[in-house]
Chain A
Amino acid sequence: MTALAPSPASPPTSRAGVRANAPASALGRAGDALADVVTMSGRALRLARRDLDSVITAAVLPVAILLLFTYVFGGAMDVGGAYVTYATPGIILLCAGFGAASTAMAVEHDMSGGMVDRLRSMPMAPWTMLTGHVAASLVKNLLTTAIVFGVAVAIGFRPDASLLDWLGAVGLLLLFVHAISWSAAFVGVLVRSPDAANGFTFFVMFLPYVSSAFVPVDTMPTWLRGFAEHQPVTPVIEAVRSLLVGAAPGTDVGATALLAVAWCVGLALVFAVAAAWGFRRRR
Chain B
Amino acid sequence: MTDALVLAEGLRKDFGPPRRRVRVLDGVDLALHRGEVLALLGPNGAGKTTTVRILTTLLRPDGGRATVAGHDVVRDAARVRPLISLTGQQVALDLKQSVRENLTMMGRLAHLPRRAVRGRVDELLAAFDLAGVADRRAATCSGGTRRRLDLAAGLLTRPQVLFLDEPTTGLDPRSRQAVWEVVRDVVAAGTSLFLTTQYLEEADRLADRVALVDGGRVAAEGTPAALKRQVGEASVELDLATAADADRVRGALGLPAAEGARVLAPTDGSLAHARAVLDAAAATGVVPTAWTVRQPTLDDAFLALTGHRTGAAGRPAGQSAGQSADLTAKEVAA
Contacts and interface: CB of A to CB of B under 8 A. Distances in A.
Interface of A: 1-7, 11-16, 20-23, 32, 35-36, 39-40, 43, 46-47, 50-51, 113-115, 117-124, 283
Interface of B: 53, 56-59, 78-79, 81-82, 84-94, 96-97, 101, 105, 108-114, 116, 123-124, 126-127, 150, 153-155, 157-160, 163, 185-186, 188-192
Contacts of B53: 117, 283
A6 B188 CA distance: 11
Nearest to B90: A114
Contact of B111 (A4, A5, A15, A117): A15
Given A3-B126, A122-B110, 9 more contacts: A6-B158, A7-B157, A21-B82, A43-B97, A50-B96, A51-B96, A114-B89, A121-B56, A121-B58
30 contacts: A4-B127, A4-B191, A5-B190, A6-B158, A6-B191, A7-B157, A7-B160, A11-B158, A14-B113, A15-B113, A16-B111, A20-B112, A21-B82, A35-B111, A36-B108, A39-B105, A39-B109, A46-B97, A113-B90, A114-B88, A115-B93, A117-B90, A118-B87, A118-B88, A118-B154, A121-B57, A121-B58, A121-B84, A121-B85, A123-B110
A21 B109 CA distance: 9
Nearest to A109: B94
A13 to B, nearest CB: 7
A35 B81 contact: no
Interface centre among A4, A32, A50, A283 (most CB of B within 10 A): A4
Q: Which 5 A-B pairs have the closest CB atoms?
A: A114-B90, A114-B92, A21-B82, A118-B92, A7-B158
B134 to A, nearest CB: 15
Contacts of B159: 6-7
B78 A123 contact: yes
Contacts of B127: 1, 3-4
A270 to B, nearest CB: 27
Given A4-B155, A4-B186, A283-B58, A14 B111 contact: yes
Nearest to B79: A22
Contacts of A13: 113
Contacts of A115: 92-94
A16 B112 CA distance: 10
Contacts of B93: 114-115
A5 B123 CA distance: 11
A124 B109 CA distance: 7
Contacts of A22: 78-79, 82
Nearest to A32: B111
Given A21-B111, A51-B96, A117-B88, A4 B189 contact: yes
Nearest to B126: A3
Nearest to A43: B105
A46 B104 CA distance: 13
Contact of B153 (A35, A43, A51, A118): A118
A114 B157 contact: no
B92 A20 contact: no
B7 to A, nearest CB: 18
A172 B263 CA distance: 86
Nearest to A128: B109
A123 B81 contact: yes
B122 to A, nearest CB: 9
A122 B88 contact: no
A14 B92 CA distance: 24
A20 B151 CA distance: 21
Contacts of B57: 120-121
B92 A117 contact: yes
A21 B157 contact: yes
Given A7-B157, A115-B94, A118-B154, A123 B82 contact: yes
Contacts of A7: 157-160
A118 B182 CA distance: 20
B136 to A, nearest CB: 13
Contacts of B56: 117, 121
Contacts of A120: 57-58
Given A12-B116, A121-B86, A3 B123 contact: yes
A5 B157 contact: no
B109 A36 contact: yes
A217 B123 CA distance: 63
Contact of A1 (B116, B150, B188): B188
Contact of A5 (B58, B84, B96, B158): B158
Nearest to A11: B158
A188 to B, nearest CB: 16
Given A121-B84, A122-B81, A12 B113 contact: yes
Nearest to A22: B82
Nearest to A2: B189
B96 A47 contact: yes
B99 to A, nearest CB: 14
Contacts of A15: 111, 113-114
